[in-house]
Chains A and B, each alone.
Chain A
Amino acid sequence: MTKTDLIKRKLVSPKEWLGARKNLLVQEKEFTRLRDQLSRQRRELPWVKVEREYVFEGPNGKEALGDLFEGRHQLVIYHFMYAPDWEEGCPSCSFWADNFNGIIVHLNHRDVTFAAISRAPLKKLNAFKKRMGWTFKWVSSGNNDFNYDYHVSFPAGVPKEELEYNYGNPPFATSDLPGVSVFYKDPEGNIFHTYSAYSRGIDVLNTAYNYLDLVPKGRDEDEFEFGMEWLRHHDRYEN
């Protein structure tokens, strides 16, 4: 475990603390309202009809994008970084998965189906999922262009200036990066792409970081060259 020093804060009486806390509460409430407003704004985005056919390898064999909805109208995709030649899934994405694995059952009851998609072959996905003890649906896009079309996988040999990630360029040369995409299926079976987020845009979906934002040390990653250097797959911590 990494353990950094605490920066000791001023010690005060409960009454004095309450004054400071109430001041912060005003700012927190304002932030919550801004977040609500932004969520409304997000849902006002126009939708783009998905014209391409994608067929994935999944637990039920070959499944089209439309099949992934499993009878619901909304589909949330987590673009899990797992390239075909990797031995295991990305540790950071695994951290995100540890966040969403337990809540999908609830999303399902608000007309949302959830699936993770990666380029690695299904066999690898299944084995890794079993090792991690996850139950979410995970399909392989190894035989289609889905990951490239939604800007989370990048062809080798193309300079990063010519590639798109997070509506700009990828931060470094790599084959895969994380993201979240949302789709809607209308009663006629038409599928629309409604939203995608990448990079720190999926920060808020890692609830654990919001928990770290509450403790005195915060995210406590400044000393690392790479922020999530402290992170391991949940079965790989030493204690």
Chain B
Amino acid sequence: MATHSTGTREEWLAARLELLEAEKELTRRSDEVAQRRQGLPWVRIEKEYRFETDEGSATLADLFRGRSQLLVYHYMFGPDYTAGCATCSTIADGFRGFVVHLANHDVTLSAVSRAPFAKIQAYQRRMGWTFSWASSFGNEFNFDFNVSFSEQQQREGSIDYNYERGGHAMDETTQLPDIVVQNAAMCGTDGPTYTRDRPGMSAFVLEDGAIYHTYSTYARGLDGLWGMYQWLDRAPKGRNEAELYQTGGLWWRRHDEYAKR
């Protein structure tokens, strides 16, 4: 690491106080954005979806499990993957520990993926996670919420991800970034198959038997929901991955794979 300026505590404190003001300003901004987000209009869901869960076949309303708010983590696990996405796994390692708190604050968090339920179950057991995870295999849920796409959409270049057509690096079919190809290999698949599924988070509300879609976020919209990055942002070296990205290196592994390096 390059040499860094050092100082007395007084010098540090002066700089720290200045930063504190900026941090407080950002916290206030975050509160404002959250408020605006909570003020978004709702869209009623008219379609029926059938999922496979550990309690058998379930509707979207069942996924709420008696609560009035549902957060769906669109976990990348396509039907042709041999394992769930390793990058999504680092996000899941964060929320696995606090879903119990959300559950006691009227929020059910459930992951949803297109892989058949048996595959999901085996993978979840391997990772030691216990959060709800439903399979949308065979239904249109993932396609309707813009986290799964068809080969035809890939061919035609008609993928709308993160509210933009063809705007994401994963929309490429011929020249996928190395990091995407690596991610694909970690799921036992190729780039184009891997990128037919994407990450995201969607929020729903259940009231008087009716379900409403309130919010969805994708791509870097997930950044603040990715626990490890907020901690790294406070370390002197930061995320410490710019060089790795240039050489196509992906530094993380599934939590049970690090020892194998």
Q: Which A residues contact B (CB, under 8 angstroms)?
A: 1-4, 6, 8-14, 16-18, 20-22, 24-25, 27-29, 31-32, 34-35, 38-43, 45-49, 73-74, 76, 95, 98-103, 105-112, 114, 167, 180, 182, 184, 192-197, 200-201, 203-205, 207-208, 210-220, 230-232, 234, 237, 239
Task: Give the distance in Å from the alpha carbon of A239 to the alpha carbon of B42 in the complex.
Answer: 30
B62 at the interface (CB under 8 A from A): no
Q: Label chain B's interface by main secondary structure.
A: mixed
Task: Give the distance in Å from the alpha carbon of A237 to the alpha carbon of B67 in the complex.
Answer: 15
Contact B231 A109 (CB under 8 A): no
Task: Give the distance in Å from the alpha carbon of A200 to the alpha carbon of B20 in the complex.
Answer: 11
Contact of A207 among B39, B43, B71, B230 (CB under 8 A): B230
With a cutoff of 8 Å between Cβ atoms, the chain A residues found around residue B37 in the complex are 24, 28, 213-214
Task: Assess A182 versus B109: contact at CB under 8 Å? Given A110-B251, A204-B224.
Answer: no
Shortest B22–chain A CB gap in Å is 6
- Closest residue of chain B to A181 (Cβ to Cβ) is B234
Contact of B12 among A47, A110, A182 (CB under 8 A): A47
Interface size on B, residues (CB 8 A): 90
Which residues of B171-229 are within 8 A (CB) of A? 201, 203, 205, 207, 212-217, 220-221, 223-228
Contact B96 A105 (CB under 8 A): no
Contact B228 A230 (CB under 8 A): no
- Closest residue of chain B to A1 (Cβ to Cβ) is B104
Contact B98 A208 (CB under 8 A): yes
Task: Give the distance in Å from the alpha carbon of A195 to the alpha carbon of B43 in the complex.
Answer: 44
B118 at the interface (CB under 8 A from A): no
6 CB < 8 A contacts A-B: A12-B43, A17-B41, A17-B42, A28-B221, A110-B237, A218-B38
With a cutoff of 8 Å between Cβ atoms, the chain B residues found around residue A103 in the complex are 90, 93-94, 227-228, 231
Task: Assess A106 versus B19: contact at CB under 8 Å? Given A46-B12, A47-B5, A74-B235.
Answer: no
With a cutoff of 8 Å between Cβ atoms, the chain A residues found around residue B29 in the complex are 31, 34
With a cutoff of 8 Å between Cβ atoms, the chain B residues found around residue A20 in the complex are 40-41
With a cutoff of 8 Å between Cβ atoms, the chain B residues found around residue A232 in the complex are 104
Task: Give the distance in Å from the alpha carbon of A108 to the alpha carbon of B244 in the complex.
Answer: 16
Which residues of B225-261 are within 8 A (CB) of A? 225-228, 230-241, 251-253, 255, 258
Task: Give the distance in Å from the alpha carbon of A197 to the alpha carbon of B220 in the complex.
Answer: 24
Contact B9 A48 (CB under 8 A): yes
Contact of A211 among B19, B24, B102, B221 (CB under 8 A): B102
- Closest residue of chain A to B207 (Cβ to Cβ) is A6
Task: Assess A35 versus B224: contact at CB under 8 Å? Given A49-B6, A109-B251.
Answer: yes
Task: Assess A204 versus B163: contact at CB under 8 Å? Given A10-B41, A38-B26.
Answer: no
With a cutoff of 8 Å between Cβ atoms, the chain B residues found around residue A205 in the complex are 227, 230-231, 234
